[in-house]
Amino acid sequence: MDRRSFLKKAGVAGAGAATAAATTLATPAIAQGNMELKMVTTWPKNFPGLGTGAQRVADRITAATEGRITVKLFAAGELVPPFESFDAVSTGTADMYHGAEYYWQGKHKAFNFFTAVPMGLTAPEIDAWVNHMGGQALWDELSAQFNIKPFQAGNTGVQMGGWFAKEINSIEDIKGLKFRMPGLGGEVLRRLGANVVALPGGEIFPALQSGAIDGTEWVGPWNDLAFGFYKVVKFYYWPGFHEPGSSLGVGMNKGVYDKLSKADQQIIADACMAENNYMYSEFVANNGNALETLVNDHGVQLREFPEPVWDAFGAVSEEVVAEVADGDDLGKRVYESYLKARQAAGGWTKISMQAYTIARDRVLGV
Ligand code: CA
């Protein structure tokens, strides 16, 4: 809408002018700070919640600046392959990305903490850490090493444990599985004997169908229904130990960000924060109904991981997460800050959200 009106105005201004004069009209437009920013994503085009969330961030910035900054979205593979989004923004091929920070763990293991780590923070807890308990400053420091300014811009909430072709009755059943799981959760499964891959979203279903993988995690009922994993595998485990509240992020090329006015920087920060809140509520709103569809219409078998399996997940997770601190000083500081937040926020969660929902369920069954 705003872009159209901008183009219309430009058209009117140029209508009475000769071609040469019209060319010179472009100059003041640039001088006034009009620009088009390219946003790449790790998500397939218009994928529910994730792809549409990236589009909403782009649209919010375009609308709030009345088109002075037009953000054009390129879905996974349209400009660069999904996992090359980080490098594209770091080097300036694109101006910003929307994705999950743990996809960049090859750059630095500490990136995992800014999406989710096994046995880590829930959605409200990671927001607390990033906004109020030192997380953002550490994230800024980490991303600045790669010429990137990071923002939270979405959350999936607690993810499901994943899709399995057979039941997981003991930790022995994990051994030898060919499983898709990114981030440090993937490393935990690897140490428990699985063969782990970290495929981008759009490549999971074909891999499952061809037998290249036996099972996968993705997000939760709403997103997993959209990909149709139930057509291949039927056992759906809850909840995921590996992603208890995955925070999604926008990374902006720092050179581009630093050149913006304070007002435009604030608009970008606010657009991301709005989406961080909006997307989480969208997942909460859609997961319950999608789960009913999976179970009632598609014969999906829901299963809870047995306690001994949880014990193994927990022990290995703590080991894997702690190793990030051994990498370098920044990794150590991120790890220590995160753990402190888990202790403080987790203590509150226990007698608030957790205690309340357990009591509500006991009394009312919801
Ligand atoms: Ca996931």
Distance in Å, CA 127 to ligand 1 centroid: 18
Distance in Å, CA 243 to ligand 1 centroid: 6
Determine the Cα–Cα distance for residues 52 and 75; give it in Å rounded to an integer.
Answer: 10
Q: Would the pLDDT of 52 be above 70?
A: yes
122 band by pLDDT with thresholds 50, 70 and 90: very high
Distance in Å, CA 160 to ligand 1 centroid: 8
Q: Kindly state the DSSP code that residue 217 receives in the 8-state scheme.
A: -
What is the reported pLDDT for 9? Answer: 39
7 band by pLDDT with thresholds 50, 70 and 90: very low
Mean pLDDT value across residues 284-308: 98
The SS3 assignment for 39 reads: strand
Determine the Cα–Cα distance for residues 335 and 342; give it in Å rounded to an integer.
Answer: 10
The percentage of residues in the chain with a pLDDT greater than 70, rounded to a whole number, is 91
- CA end-to-end span of the chain: 42
Mean pLDDT value across residues 267-294: 98
Distance in Å, CA 303 to ligand 1 centroid: 18
Query: Nearest 5°: phi and psi at 226?
Result: -60, -35
Distance in Å, CA 219 to ligand 1 centroid: 4
Distance in Å, CA 216 to ligand 1 centroid: 9
Q: Would the pLDDT of 100 be above 80?
A: yes
pLDDT tens, position by position, 134-152: 999 999 999 999 999 999 9
Distance in Å, CA 170 to ligand 1 centroid: 22
Alpha-carbon dihedral angle through residues 21, 27, 32, 34, given to the nearest 10 degrees = 110
Distance in Å, CA 80 to ligand 1 centroid: 21
In 111-197, which ranges are E strands?
148-155, 162-164, 178-180, 195-197
Instruction: Say how many C-beta atoms besides its own lie within 10 A of residue 157's C-beta.
Output: 20
What is the reported pLDDT for 68? Answer: 97
Determine the Cα–Cα distance for residues 292 and 294; give it in Å rounded to an integer.
Answer: 5
Residue 93 near residue 79 (C-beta atoms within 8 A):
yes
Distance in Å, CA 218 to ligand 1 centroid: 4
Distance in Å, CA 50 to ligand 1 centroid: 12
What is the reported pLDDT for 289? Answer: 98
Instruction: Say how many C-beta atoms besides its own lie within 10 A of residue 207's C-beta.
Output: 17
CATH topology of domain 3-156+245-285: D-Maltodextrin-Binding Protein; domain 2 (3.40.190)
Cα–Cα distance list, 347 to 125, 282, 343, 344, 352 (Å)? 11, 27, 6, 5, 9
Chain centroid to Cα 4, Å, comes to 30
Distance in Å, CA 288 to ligand 1 centroid: 17
Residue 68 near residue 9 (C-beta atoms within 8 A):
no
| Average pLDDT for the chain | 92
> What are the tokens at 203?
């490549």
pLDDT tens, position by position, 204-228: 999 999 999 999 999 999 999 999 9
30 band by pLDDT with thresholds 50, 70 and 90: very low
Distance in Å, CA 227 to ligand 1 centroid: 13
Q: Would the pLDDT of 184 be above 50?
A: yes
Q: Would the pLDDT of 12 be above 50?
A: no
Q: Which of these, 353, 336, 333, lies nearest to 345 by C-alpha position?
A: 353
Q: Give me the DSSP letters along 285-309.
A: HHHHHHHHHHHHHH--EEEEPPHHH
101 band by pLDDT with thresholds 50, 70 and 90: very high
Distance in Å, CA 18 to ligand 1 centroid: 55
Query: Minimum mean pLDDT among 12-21, 124-133, 320-329: which range?
Result: 12-21
User: What's at 241, amino acid-wise?
Assistant: F
16 band by pLDDT with thresholds 50, 70 and 90: very low
pLDDT tens, position by position, 152-171: 999 999 999 999 999 999 99
In the chain, which ranges are E strands?
35-41, 69-74, 96-99, 148-155, 162-164, 178-180, 195-197, 215-216, 235-238, 247-253, 301-304
Distance in Å, CA 238 to ligand 1 centroid: 13
What is the reported pLDDT for 32? Answer: 61
Distance in Å, CA 179 to ligand 1 centroid: 12
Q: Would the pLDDT of 346 be above 90?
A: yes
Distance in Å, CA 235 to ligand 1 centroid: 16
Residues with CB under 5 A from ligand 1 (ion): 159, 243
Mean pLDDT value across residues 173-187: 97
Determine the Cα–Cα distance for residues 71 and 62; give it in Å rounded to an integer.
Answer: 6
Q: Kindly state the DSSP code that residue 109 receives in the 8-state scheme.
A: G
17 band by pLDDT with thresholds 50, 70 and 90: very low
Q: Would the pLDDT of 44 be above 50?
A: yes
- Domain boundary assignment for the chain: 3-156+245-285
Query: For the whole model, what pTM was predicted?
Result: 0.90
Q: Would the pLDDT of 24 be above 80?
A: no
Mean pLDDT value across residues 175-200: 97
Distance in Å, CA 45 to ligand 1 centroid: 18
